[in-house]
Structure 1
Amino acid sequence: MTLPFTPRPSQERILRYTSGRLGIAAVPGAGKTHILSALAAKIIQDGRLDDDQEVLIVTLVNSAVDNFETRIKRFFDNPLRVLYKYRVRTLHGLAHDIVREKPARVGLEERFSIMDEREAGFIRKESVNAWLANHSFDDYLDPALDHSKRDWVKRQQLPDLLDSLALAFIRSSKDRLLTPESLRAKLDQSPAPLPLAEFGYSIYADYQRALAYRGAVDFDDLIRLALTLLETDEEYRARLGYRYPFILEDEAQDSSQTQQRILSLLSGQNGNWVRVGDPNQAIFETFTTAKPELLRDFIAENPHEDMPESGRSQPSILAAANRLIDWVMTSHPDPEARTALSVPRIVPVPPGDPQQNPPDDPGAIKFISTKYTPEQELDAVVKSVKGYVDSFADSPV
């Protein structure tokens, strides 16, 4: 395939991929979306697909789906050549595709509905408020709080905090394939009381009953049921494996255990599965079941490449980022935190690259030593961004 761009050295190595598993650690600005799109186009143009096969690209968010589709089409003079030769899906979209073909096998009606996140949040909050009306959380509040402050926390902060806790509990349970019933059995066997787990179970059970009453599933259920279907229907799994002989996974650092298991089953033990991500940039880890260590382990256990070149930042910023990586890996005071970051270190792009690094300006880097509360930090970021935008007020857009 003749490329319409000159790939960077690491990108060129990745485009030589032909088969098997490949893990790719890509730094911010390495061009991973661009190179995955090019790899998908190359697989298609090289004739490695039968007429009824597609390259499956799995990405994180819906906006990335459109981005991939647009980029892949640019590699073809005639868009009809690529028609039905690739499929771009978020994990939720892929799970829906899988379950939709055989809903009865996982206990769903033929026309099952999917609960959107807004309505799911409303149901969950109702359950939390009902629980709070009959239970006390005073033992978890700071005893130093005066009466008025304590009352304010209970009215204003506690419901939202418990809702966040319930959401994390439900998602984590579903990622581990734990139903309310199986969770109840585990709690009954616990030798010690687990009040927070009991709270989580109570909300989870109420939430699932509400979904069942509506004949609906949520997005996490879709993923769980898709995995169940693949694990229990060997013929269906083989058929999907044939349909998608190449799987390209974007943003793999935000993959969960369930997502990894689904893609592993689809690709098969010796299948063609390329995983690309930045192990140091798990932006969804805080509020989803994402586990960056899954990508790190995959890279360590399989053939792998690094994409270290980035033209996004000036050299001094790259040096500061690399220094942080080195410090965390070797000198962090908590030994368990030393695996939080990993190589590759970021390097500038080579001469002639269309996205050259900005000129070096060490004085533009400012370290803020103020210890902010979350609210103060948010306010400081907003003010900083506003000041930056205002500085370009007279510039044409």
Structure 2
Amino acid sequence: MNYRSDQKDIINYESGTMALPAVPGAGKTFILTHLAGKLILEGNTESGKILILSYMTSSCSNIKSRIIKFLEEKGINSTKDFEVMTIHSLAMKIIKEKPDVLNLSDEFKMIDSVLQASFIKQAIIDFRKRYTKEFDSFIDPNKKKNIKGAYDSIEDNLTRCMTSFIGEMKCKGISVDMLKDITKDIDYTDMMKLACDIYESYDLNLRKQGLVDYNDLLFMAYKLLKEDEDLRDKFQNRYAYIFEDECQDSNEIQGKILEILAQKHGNLVRVGDLNQSITGTFTSSDPRFFREFCKSADRIQKMFTAGRSSKEVIDLANYLVNWVREDHPVSSCRNALENQIVLTVPEGENPQNPINPKYGIASYIENSWEDSIRRFIQMVTLYKEKYPQKTIAALIPTGYMIGQIGERLQKMNIEYDELSDVSNEKLVTTKTLGKILDYISSPYDNEKFQIVLKDILINEQYDDSYKLYDFIKKCRLEDLLYPNEDLCIPDEIVELSVYKDFVSSLDLVRKFLEFPQLAIDRLILYIGEKLKFSREEKAMMEKIASDIRFLLISNPKWTLKDIAKELEESKNNKFNYFAKFVYELKGYEPTPGKITLSTLHKSKGLEWDCVFILGLTNLHFPVELTDKFMGECAYLKKEYSNPLALLRASLKKLLNEEDIKNPTIKAREETISERARLLYVAITRAKENLILIGHKENQELPSIYIKELKKFIESEKNRYVGC
């Protein structure tokens, strides 16, 4: 195997701590999997396995399959020498060893984000009702005329804020009792008192229902490893090497777990890109942990050469880095991006960089968001026609904006995939089940019966199927389902090409109707079995059945119709939430000619031939401290406008860690910095072509980023050879 010059020292690693800072497209997954395979081949795993941790379930699947392929090519058909998982899967594995020590039952369940948000929001509402005067003291007096609108907006904002803040406290090991102790002298006009009250209510709800959240997992695993010597020895002996991917997204507790596990053998490899740290403003992750590891590791091997993107895309990404570091108008944000200039693969080292016959980058500033959508659809349609085998993505700031574009593409019959927490693809299973259960609840409803036939059971688009449905409309369903000798189906219906499928569908419907409805969870599993669902769909069915058992305990009066309505009604219900985890198992591979719609955050780790970045405004990509910031609540007084920033600062002060004079300004600086990195991530998803689109609308203006990048693009285009 020929390795690039910046990969050769890495592949020769045998022991110790090693930091691998890497730029986008540097081949970090390639080198990690090859390094793991090489260590196994050379017999370095006799004293323990290699543990590889990655941020996403899909990344774990990808890494595992690559290692298996590498080993199979060398004649080894075994996975016994390595394990690949997320940090939360590892934590779960540790806790499952001794749940009783943590006062957990063997059957403890994870809370999903929908129920978590519900607990927290209800606690906020209860606080507001108990302490109305104190709660109202947070509200901007000029906004109290619309008090219901103020309450709704603030409650939604505080729900997001408290979800993040509670997670951070748990990762720091701060329990409810500890927070109550350090806030005992604070009155209820201080937002920390509200935080304490919400935390206590949320924690009580978890314990009542035997639930834990993902931050509980990390802290409990750390606590067990630290306090239980036998358990600690077991896991330290189990893993001789520990590799961590996406280390820039680590938090403090995750780092502590890895340090404990690596103590015996001392072999810890951490890979990351500080310029792709894009979750710190809303999670407990912090790039400083990877930065500190880079300073303390036995060796550091930089992977700054990239072979994925064209030279033009790389030059634009490097220009963004240089502009932020040298010319950003907010001096405190000039360290947002590390001085990691991406290098193209040297000639003779198997270059993979795509070569564009023409300059493949463009930028546009439109007069409205609607004009941006029109520009995108016009350009993407032409691109699809010209390059039908190319992959295409539109990276968009919010899920709401994705929905608007998706609706337009749907009307124009343009195929697309949606990458969001609960995209259309992931909703198919729940909606399918919802339609079937809705029909079973009204078995002689002709319209619902036809919906099940058309949308689920008869998949083929027969030209003559409309004749069948016209016939069904005139029939009584009970006569079709349970025919007697008097029923006479006309020959022209029997001779239809769809008729054979219709007869099979009738048989299946009868089986569904005859299944005992008292056992709804078993009925759901039965439906999944009869419909011959895929692995992912069956996993969804099992989770839905399990959740329904749980929900019926809390809601004993729920009928089949209620469950069907919940399954069909909303993207934001507890059943659909699980879909994102199930579909991450198989990962995502772009389909040529099919447009991928994704938020910028979801695009990390993926790549496409052509990338459109839309919504480049000062709202979504702020540069100045005077820009509008999405995390701030307009209904709150200025000093409370960013509750999460205020709570983080208050906690630091109470713990005597730091006294932040202006939390809102500091939070704005952090948001500006993180958004610069987010734009960098989006740009580096493109392999060949990149189109940037900004717009102005109402109070939104084109982001300074697109203005600066547009200057560079135009100058490059003018001097591009052959343009």
Report the TM-score when normalising by structure 2: 0.49
* Map of 2:145 onto structure 1: 147
Shift in Å at residue 126 of structure 1?
2.2
* Map of 1:390 onto structure 2: 381
* Map of 1:249 onto structure 2: 244
* Map of 1:64 onto structure 2: 59
* Map of 1:39 onto structure 2: 35
Structure 1 pair 382–70 and aligned structure 2 pair: CA distance change class (3 A):
farther
Shift in Å at residue 362 of structure 1?
5.8
Q: Distance in 1 between matches of 2:14 and 2:371?
A: 48
Q: Distance in 2 between matches of 1:115 and 1:195?
A: 29
Match of 1:278 among 273, 284, 307: 273
Q: Distance in 2 between matches of 1:54 and 1:194?
A: 53
Shift in Å at residue 102 of structure 1?
1.3
The C-alpha deviation readout for 1:153-185, integer Å capped at 9, x for no partner, is: 433x22211110110111110111101111111
Match of 2:178 among 182, 199, 210: 182
SS at match of 2:53: strand
Match of 2:196 among 182, 201, 206: 201
Q: Which amino acid aligns with 1:154?
A: Y
Q: Who wins on radius of gyration, i.e. which is larger? A: 2
Conserved? CA contact 1:316–1:360, under 8 Å: no
Match of 1:104 among 92, 96, 100: 100
* Map of 1:82 onto structure 2: 78
SS at match of 2:344: coil
* Map of 2:119 onto structure 1: 123
Shift in Å at residue 331 of structure 1?
4.9
Match of 2:317 among 300, 315, 321: 321
Q: Which amino acid aligns with 2:356?
A: P
Answering whether residue 352 of structure 2 is matched by residue 355 of structure 1, we say: yes
Q: Distance in 1 between matches of 2:307 and 2:243?
A: 24
SS at match of 1:75: helix
Report the TM-score when normalising by structure 1: 0.87
Q: Distance in 2 between matches of 1:242 and 1:339?
A: 40
Q: Which amino acid aligns with 2:352?
A: Q
Q: Distance in 2 between matches of 1:330 and 1:193?
A: 45
The answer to which structure, 1 or 2, has the higher relative contact order (CA under 8 A, 6+ apart) is: 1
Q: Which amino acid aligns with 2:37?
A: A
Structure 1 pair 383–123 and aligned structure 2 pair: CA distance change class (3 A):
farther
Greater displacement, 10-19 / 307-316: 307-316
Greater displacement, 133-142 / 28-37: 133-142
Structure 1 pair 197–100 and aligned structure 2 pair: CA distance change class (3 A):
same
Q: Which amino acid aligns with 1:235?
A: D
SS at match of 1:82: coil
* Map of 1:264 onto structure 2: 259
Q: Which amino acid aligns with 1:268?
A: Q
Structure 1 pair 336–238 and aligned structure 2 pair: CA distance change class (3 A):
farther
* Map of 1:230 onto structure 2: 225
Greater displacement, 326-335 / 7-16: 326-335
Q: Distance in 1 between matches of 2:267 and 2:374?
A: 47
Q: Distance in 1 between matches of 2:244 and 2:316?
A: 29
Conserved? CA contact 1:306–1:344, under 8 Å: no
% identical equivalent positions:
31
Q: Distance in 2 between matches of 1:103 and 1:382?
A: 52
5+ residue gaps, structure 2:
390-591, 593-723
Shift in Å at residue 389 of structure 1?
3.6
SS at match of 2:271: strand
Structure 1 pair 118–269 and aligned structure 2 pair: CA distance change class (3 A):
same
Greater displacement, 208-217 / 335-344: 335-344
SS at match of 2:194: helix
The C-alpha deviation readout for 1:268-304, integer Å capped at 9, x for no partner, is: 1761111001101113223221101111111122221
The C-alpha deviation readout for 1:227-270, integer Å capped at 9, x for no partner, is: 11111123321221121110010000000000011101111176
* Map of 1:366 onto structure 2: 363
Structure 1 pair 41–141 and aligned structure 2 pair: CA distance change class (3 A):
same
Shift in Å at residue 36 of structure 1?
0.9
Match of 2:110 among 88, 93, 114: 114
Structure 1 pair 338–393 and aligned structure 2 pair: CA distance change class (3 A):
closer
Shift in Å at residue 383 of structure 1?
6.3
Structure 1 pair 22–39 and aligned structure 2 pair: CA distance change class (3 A):
same
* Map of 2:712 onto structure 1: none
Shift in Å at residue 393 of structure 1?
3.4
Greater displacement, 135-144 / 258-267: 135-144
SS at match of 1:356: coil
Q: Distance in 2 between matches of 1:270 and 1:338?
A: 39
Conserved? CA contact 1:330–1:338, under 8 Å: yes
Q: Distance in 1 between matches of 2:184 and 2:233?
A: 39
Q: Which amino acid aligns with 2:339?
A: V
SS at match of 1:77: helix
Shift in Å at residue 333 of structure 1?
4.8
Greater displacement, 242-251 / 314-323: 314-323
Q: Distance in 2 between matches of 1:169 and 1:108?
A: 24
Conserved? CA contact 1:54–1:246, under 8 Å: yes
Conserved? CA contact 2:237–2:264, under 8 Å: no
Match of 2:215 among 205, 210, 220: 220
Conserved? CA contact 2:143–2:150, under 8 Å: no
Answering whether residue 54 of structure 2 is matched by residue 28 of structure 1, we say: no
Shift in Å at residue 20 of structure 1?
0.6
SS at match of 1:63: helix
Q: Which amino acid aligns with 2:145?
A: H
Q: How many residues align?
A: 383
The C-alpha deviation readout for 1:126-166, integer Å capped at 9, x for no partner, is: 22332333344444444444834x643433x2221111011
Shift in Å at residue 325 of structure 1?
2.6
* Map of 2:166 onto structure 1: 170
Q: Which amino acid aligns with 1:393?
A: K
Q: Distance in 2 between matches of 1:336 and 1:269?
A: 41
